[in-house]
A = this chain, B = another copy of it.
Amino acid sequence: MQTITVMLDSVPGERSYPIHIGEDILCQPELFLERLPQKRVAIISNTVVAPLYMERLRSALGRHNVVSLPIILPDGEEHKNLQTLNLIYDALLAHRCERGTSIIALGGGVVGDLTGFAAATYLRGVPFFQVPTTLLAQVDSSVGGKTGINHPLGKNMIGAFYQPRAVIVDTVTLDTLPDRELRAGIAEIIKYGLIRDPAFLEWLEKNIAGLVARDAEIMVEAIRRSCVNKAEVVEADERESGGRALLNLGHTFGHAIENGMGYGVWLHGEAVAAGTILAAELSQRMHLINSIDVERIRNLYAQAGLPCVAPNLGTAEYVRLMGLDKKVEGGKIRFVLLERMGKAVVRSDVPSNMLAATLAECTGNA
């Protein structure tokens, strides 16, 4: 087992927490125990993940006399909304969960985001743990405290910054993850290489085949390096007033793709892959990187089996959807672009005709 510590204050304390990464660690409840104020937890999962891992986690906790309440949500991004959130509140209140009752998210990004937001807001905040079971959640969404839900007018528009007490990444859970979801997770892994870690980017180019083939050693190393990158970014800028925005490479386009196609049609990671290639194309037109760099990026995503061409939603529709982005400032869309391979930058000065040209030239046929 490997452990990374996310230090949110300059001194270790309540606001620091561990990310444990290892095989079969779901069955090691001691990773939770010392951080539980009460021997009572609610475990929130969905109809796909619960049959696979809920009982394993509950019985491990039960051996230490921790009583657990299972709450099972419908599966899918389209359920990451106010109605599903309310199902969680209903269950927590019906069972009289208290301020000392911890809430554990057992599932992918949707479960983690919903659960984290419920934990942030139930009784104005209760202890929260992440047990991510998808690659995407393990390398990205479970670390850093972003929680929230979607709104018909945009993704993640409602939420809170709320840090977990611990993140437990059990790589065994990836055995049951469909290939398509595995690849979606790899999209976010590649992101860390592109925005801030050129050595990791090169390592990925060498090991992408092994990663896609689920080589255990390569997988753990990819998760570990992703979490280290994520932790460093979050430590430096917990609330996205600066550098944290760079994690959104490909996400402004990606969110427009997810929203425009209807939530759930494209997986988040797929939209980020196609969105990152659009961002790379835009970076080239802004004279930041060159066409060889763009090709290198496209190649890496292609080898990961991810979509390299964004859907043609029409330029006007893209601009409209991107205008809903949380990063918009004074009506200006702020783009995360690549200054060079392994270094991202936020730019608010993209000319609208350059954006239009990129969308016209680089999205799929209508």
Question: Which of A126-170 touch B at CB < 8 Å?
Answer: 146, 148, 151, 153-154, 156-161
Asked if A125 and B329 sit within 8 Å, CB to CB, the answer is: no
Of A93, A96, A124, A148, the most chain B CB neighbours within 10 A belong to: A124
Question: Which of A50-99 touch B at CB < 8 Å?
Answer: 82, 86, 89-90, 93-94, 96, 98-99
Chain B residue nearest to A118 (CB atoms) is B158
A225 to B96, CA, bound (A): 37
A94 to B153, CA, bound (A): 8
Across the interface, A160 reaches (CB within 8 A) one of B38, B82, B121, namely B121
A149 → B minimal CB distance (Å): 9
Asked if A123 and B326 sit within 8 Å, CB to CB, the answer is: yes
A96 to B320, CA, bound (A): 11
Contact A93 to B124, CB < 8 A, known contacts A160-B160, A329-B100, A330-B38: no
Question: Is A122's CB within 8 Å of the partner chain B?
Answer: yes
Across the interface, A98 reaches (CB within 8 A) one of B96, B123, B159, B328, namely B328
Residues of B within 8 A of A330 (CB): 38, 98, 100
Chain B residue nearest to A146 (CB atoms) is B124
Question: Is A218's CB within 8 Å of the partner chain B?
Answer: no
Contact A96 to B323, CB < 8 A, known contacts A89-B151, A148-B124: yes
Asked if A161 and B328 sit within 8 Å, CB to CB, the answer is: no
Question: Which of A88-120 touch B at CB < 8 Å?
Answer: 89-90, 93-94, 96, 98-100, 117, 120
Asked if A121 and B158 sit within 8 Å, CB to CB, the answer is: yes
A218 → B minimal CB distance (Å): 34
A98 to B38, CA, bound (A): 39
Asked if A93 and B154 sit within 8 Å, CB to CB, the answer is: yes
Contact A157 to B93, CB < 8 A, known contacts A98-B329, A124-B146: yes
Contact A160 to B125, CB < 8 A, known contacts A99-B326, A323-B96, A329-B100: yes
Asked if A93 and B324 sit within 8 Å, CB to CB, the answer is: yes
Chain A interface residues toward B at CB < 8 A:
38, 82, 86, 89-90, 93-94, 96, 98-100, 117, 120-125, 146, 148, 151, 153-154, 156-161, 239-240, 323-324, 326-331
